[in-house]
Chain A
Amino acid sequence: MPSLISIDDLKNGMVLAEAVKNKYGQVLLAKNAVINANHPKIFRTWGVETIMVHDDNVAKPQATFNTSLVASVRQGLIDRLQWEPMLPQETDLLEMAVNSFLRRQPITTKIETGEEEAE
C-alpha cells in the first residue's frame, strides 16, 4: 500500500507510488522512479512537501524481533505502568505500545525477516 510521507523523510532508494507534480501540474518525477539524493532539493524548490511512496520503502517494522527482546520490552512497560493487563482492550493497548517501542530499538538488535533466528 502506498503511503504519504513528508519530503523531509525521503530516503535514497524509495520508489514513487505516484508521479510528483508541481503546482502547474507538470510532472517533476514519474511514477515508479527511484529517489536519489538530489530529488528532495528539487521538490523543495518546487514547493512540493509530501510525496506518495510505496509502503515497503517506508521505515516500518520490516524486522521480527527475538522473543527475549519482546518479553523484556513488555516487562519494562508493565513495570512502568504498575498494572498488568486483564481485559482484552488492556492487552491490546499494551501490545500496541510493545510494537511501538520495539520499532524504536537500534537496528542491530533486530533480526531481519527471513534470516535464521540467532539466539
Chain B
Amino acid sequence: LERVGVQNASEATTDILDPAVVTALVRAALANVGSVFASGLLILLTVVFMLLEAPGMLAKLRAAFRLEAASEARVKRLFSSLNQYMRIKILTSLGTAVCIWIWLWFLGIDFAVLWAVLAFFLNFIPFVGAFLMAIPAVLMALVQTDLATTLLVAAGYLVVNTAIGSVLEPRVMGRGLGISTLAVFLSLLFWSWVLGTVGAFLSVPLTMALIIAFEASPQTRPIAVLLGPEVSPTESSGDE
C-alpha cells in the first residue's frame, strides 16, 4: 500500500534527474574544488591586508571625507550589524550542519559529512539554499535505501530547516536584520545575477549594507524604507 502511495513521487524524481546529468554535476563539482581553493588563498591574503589596515580605517575615513558624527555612527552601525548577522548565521549554519549530520549518520546514509558541509554553506543562501541542500542527500537515500528512509531523510531536512531557519533564526536576529522578506528574495535574485554564486551567499549582508547607505541621503531614503522591515503606524507619521 505504501509502495503505491509513494510511487508517483519517485517516478517524478527519477524522470527529472537523469543519471547522466547527476554524473556530470558531480564531475563539475570535483573540477571546481581546485579553483575554489586557489581563489580561497587569494581571499585569505586580501583578508590579512584588510585586517592589518582595519584599526586605522575609521581615522582614515574621518580624514578623507570629514565625517560628521552622524555618518560616523552610521559606519559603525553598518559594521556592527554586519558582524552580528554573520556571527548568528555562522552559528545557525553550524547547528543545521550538525543536526543534518547526526540525522543522516543515524539513518546510515553514505557521505553524511559531505552533505553536512554542503548544508553549512547552503544555509547562507536564503530560501533556495534549504531546498538545494536537501536534493543530493535525498537522491543518495533514494538510490541507497528504500523509499521509507528517503522520506525520513526529506522530513529531517524539512524539520531542521523549519526549526532553525524559520523559528530560531528570526527570534535570535530580532530586528537586527531589518529587511523585508520580499526584499530578501528579490535581493537574492539580483545579487546572484550580478555576482554569481558569491552574490547568492552574500545577498542578505549586501542588501543590509545598501539599506544603511541609502538611509544616509534624503534623496535615497525612500528606497531604504521600501527595502526595510514593516513600518509601524506611529513611526511612519513621525517621519520627516
Binding between chains A and B:
no
A-side residues, CB < 8 A to B, are none
